[in-house]
Amino acid sequence: MLNLIPSVKTLDIKNGFLDKTTINYKDLTCDSRIITALSKLPFDEEGIKIHINILQEQGEEYELRIDSEGIWIEASGPAGAFYAVQTLRQIWKHERIPYLHIKDKPDFPYRGFYHDVTRGKVPTVETIKKLVDQMAYYKLNSLQIYVEHTFEFEECKELNQKTGYLTAEEIREIDRYAHENFIEFIPSLATFGHLYELLEQDKYRHLRILKDFEASPNFWKERMAHHTIDPSEKESFELVKSLMEQYYPLFESDVFNICCDETFDLKNSEDYISFVKQIINYLQQKNKKIMMWADILLLHPETIELIPEDVLFLNWEYCENPSEDKILRFAKLDRKQIVCPGTNSWNRLCEYVIAEEQNISKMAEYGYKNGAIGMLNTNWGDWGNPCSLELSMYGVVLGAQKSWTVKRELDEKFYEGVNFLLYEKENAIQYLKRISKMQDVVYWCNLLQYYFDCRFNEEVKALSIELETVQMIQREYLLISNELSGQTWKNDEYRQEMMISAEGICVMAELYAKIAKLDIDRVTDTKAWLDKYRNKWLEKNKKSELSKIEEVFLYLER
């Protein structure tokens, strides 16, 4: 059987195999993006001939036939032909290429990925391009990055060097590259809540709802809780408008995600609705379609119908066993929604596999059942974003699978496909699961809070951990390290990141033990691990707030 992700709707394997391993697309006349995708397959003028027939300007449905006479693609639109090529690329990774007939189309028209570039780690353009490559390979069609202050806004110049940022030209470059891969790059910007760094500046503090608020030293925690801009201040909208005007022209997309989530400091729902509608009206005048997070509206369900009918709601839930109730509420009102699960990689050095599998699967099923137009799989960066993008990629692939073919079970065949296509190593997913389980008892946010308490507070709440637990983590780390050290994967970056993650979790467990005054023999060296972690970070990300993560470990090691 073939390993294909997402799994196709129908696959009919015929008798026979191709006797050539190269292709010829020399005389094709179609969208240049399809030709670029084909160029990732081995070309030869004597190779098997490819024929492409595109029926109309739009559509993602396709048929793919391989027989002794050639390769035949018929698609409802250019995007469908592009996805047929991605399927062909996956088929080509197998040792033998069978004659076959595939009919395929997605369950959801919108299949997105949402990546946090605000809370500690700003990726390089090349890193985001590699992410786009992977998204295209697994037939995702929308990318958003979460921005609060990590862009070169005029209002954030004093913050940029402290936190890292993306430039306007970098955004444009990502936008162009996404378009080349049939991915819509949608601007997403905090415009109401989550404006902590912006409103902590002296020149904007008067625009906070909490005028006299004194922030705790734990700025990563504060970023998630504060600040909400004060809608009653006349300057507030002008400030938000300025941010939007600097940002949205960089994108080809006509969609804008205004966020407006978790406005914790605001207690009046009427003020919330009034300010949100002001933002929406402004962007609609610029011919933008609006997305927004649904959480605040769900706290005040009577307000949902006050939002313009053409707004698209992003309905999120990240727990292991999400409820269908939130999704049902919008379905009953006949309002357009996208369901938003998550990779559960935040606050960790490795994605939380058990939680993300259940969360993503159930949210996809609830959304499909209740008429959602798609799924936006989220990858947040709470508490400094310590997890590498590689150790969130299983969740990305899982989200791609469940948004294309919702009813696909996560069985051994699916895991075999992940090992074959993503990691390119048999049993790789088992290492991911083992490392994920290691972190179930050592929490990064608790270690961070202890650090901030030691540095800045008079009262320090000690951390506790059982000796047996630390020893179990040490044993598992040593086993994993010994096994992985002797291996080489075709996609070796995943192996390297797994080793660094396993070692880092063991470092954290040993620091827990040190704080709890347990008598243990160390098997890791914090400074040596930090060197590896730093090098990997800087290979793929801007320096951003790396030094702040390093400071936590070095302080606790003293």
For residue 184 the two structure tokens come to 């819509």
Residue 136 and residue 178 in contact, taking contact as beta carbons nearer than 8 Å: no
Backbone angles phi and psi of 368, in degrees to 5: -65, -45
Please, which residues have CB within 8 angstroms of residue 328's CB and are 6 or more apart in sequence? 370
Please, which residues have CB within 8 angstroms of residue 39's CB and are 6 or more apart in sequence? none
Residue 48 bridge partners (DSSP)? 23
What are the CA-CA distances from residue 490 to residues 184, 367, 496 (Å)?
30, 36, 12
What is the pLDDT at residue 1? 81
Range list of H helices, 39-153: 78-92, 125-137
Q: Which CATH number describes the domain made up of 10-104?
A: 3.30.379.10
What is the pLDDT at residue 462? 85
Burial class (CB in 10 A: 0-12, 13-18, 19+), 19: exposed
- Band of the pLDDT at 458, cuts 50, 70, 90? confident
What is the pLDDT at residue 362? 98
- Band of the pLDDT at 496, cuts 50, 70, 90? very high
What percent of the chain clears pLDDT 70, i.e. is strictly above it?
100
Q: Which long-range contacts (CB under 8 A, 24 or more apart) does 43-46 make?
A: 44/20, 46/20, 46/22
| 13-17, 223-227, 256-260, 480-484: range with lowest mean pLDDT | 223-227
What's the mean pLDDT when you consider all of the chain? 97
What tens digit of pLDDT does each residue of 372-425 get?
999 999 999 999 999 999 999 999 999 999 999 999 999 999 999 999 999 999
pLDDT above 80 (res 514)? yes
Sheet of 23-24: strand order equals 10-17, 98-104, 62-67, 70-75, 48-54, 23-24
Q: Which long-range contacts (CB under 8 A, 24 or more apart) does 318-323 make?
A: 318/342, 318/344, 318/359, 318/378, 319/355, 319/359, 320/354, 320/355, 320/358, 320/359, 321/358, 321/362, 322/359, 322/362, 322/363, 322/366
Amino acid 233 reads E
Please, which residues have CB within 8 angstroms of residue 340's CB and are 6 or more apart in sequence? 114, 293, 314, 315, 316, 317, 363, 375, 376, 377, 378
CATH number among 1.10.238.10, 3.20.20.80, 3.40.50.720, 3.30.565.10, domain 110-410: 3.20.20.80
Place of tokens 């939380």: 352
Name the residue ranges covered by the structural domains of the chain.
10-104, 110-410, 430-557
User: d(Cα 229, Cα 208) in Å, to the nearest integer?
Assistant: 5
Please, which residues have CB within 8 angstroms of residue 379's CB and are 6 or more apart in sequence? 113, 114, 115, 116, 342, 343, 345, 346, 389, 392, 395, 396
For residue 307 the two structure tokens come to 């939002």
Please, which residues have CB within 8 angstroms of residue 468's CB and are 6 or more apart in sequence? none
Residue 282 bridge partners (DSSP)? none
User: d(Cα 479, Cα 481) in Å, to the nearest integer?
Assistant: 5
For residue 147 the two structure tokens come to 């921005």
State whether residue 191 is helix, strand or coil.
coil
- Band of the pLDDT at 278, cuts 50, 70, 90? very high
What is the pLDDT at residue 510? 98
CA 490 to chain centre: 23
Evaluate whether 10-104 and 110-410 have a shared fold: no
Kindly compute the dihedral angle of the four CA atoms of residues 243, 248, 251, 252, in this order, to the nearest 10 degrees: 180
- Strands 289-293 and 374-379, by their bridges, are unpaired
What tens digit of pLDDT does each residue of 81-129 get?
999 999 999 999 999 999 999 999 999 999 999 999 999 999 999 999 9
- Band of the pLDDT at 347, cuts 50, 70, 90? very high
pTM score of the predicted model: 0.97
Radius of gyration (C-alpha) of the chain in whole angstroms:
24
What tens digit of pLDDT does each residue of 2-48 get?
999 999 999 999 999 999 899 999 989 999 999 999 999 999 999 99
Give the 3-state secondary structure of 58-79: CCCCEEEEEECCEEEEEECCHH
Polymer length of the chain: 558
CA 551 to chain centre: 26
